[in-house]
Amino acid sequence: MKVYLLPEQYQCLVVREDGDPVFSGVRNAKGESRLLYHVKQYLNQHGYDFIKKRMWRDGHLVDDMQQYLRERKNVDDRMYAIYNTFWQIEGADERLRRDGRVEFGLTNLWRGDV
């Protein structure tokens, strides 16, 4: 799996590679949760400090099942948040299996880029 952060395009691109685990499961958004976990592991190995949380726990007005990644602290006026912009339509795990890539939304919570 390759993960690219593209802040100028407000996008986080995840590209599937051979040998990657299969992410699936609808109940409790299991497939997307596992995908976000692996994205978090990849980014943290490359110098970031992301945590995975349910969005509503941070005060966002979304469904109580939707999860996202966010940086633990602001770093140089940056606190990235990575989330599924099409969560109500389909899971990111479904799109990754079908297309071999998935685009997540990327925003800077510190500056309020939305």
Rounded CA separation 55/60 (Å): 6
Whether the Cβ atoms of residue 111 and residue 81 lie closer than 8 Å to each other:
no
Residue 113 lies in a domain: no
Task: For 46-67, write each residue's pLDDT tens digit.
Answer: 999 999 988 766 667 666 678 8
User: What residues contact residue 62 under an 8 Å CB cut-off, 6+ apart?
Assistant: 55, 56, 87
Residue 38 lies in a domain: yes
- With DSSP H G I counted as helix, E B as strand and the rest as coil, what are the percentages for the chain, rounded to 5? 30, 30, 40
State which residues form the domain around 9.
Answer: 2-108
Residue 16 lies in a domain: yes
Q: How many structural domains is the chain composed of?
A: 1
Residue 114 lies in a domain: no
Residue 23 lies in a domain: yes
Residue 58 lies in a domain: yes
Residue 87 lies in a domain: yes
Collect contacts of 45-52 with beta carbons under 8 A, ≥24 apart: 48/80, 49/73, 49/75, 50/80, 50/82
Residue 78 lies in a domain: yes
pTM of the complete model: 0.85
Task: For 1-47, write each residue's pLDDT tens digit.
Answer: 999 999 899 999 999 999 888 887 777 777 888 999 999 999 999 99
69: its two tokens: 């990644």
Whether the Cβ atoms of residue 107 and residue 90 lie closer than 8 Å to each other:
no
- What mean pLDDT is predicted for residues 78-97? 89
Angle (CA) 60 63 65, round 5°: 110
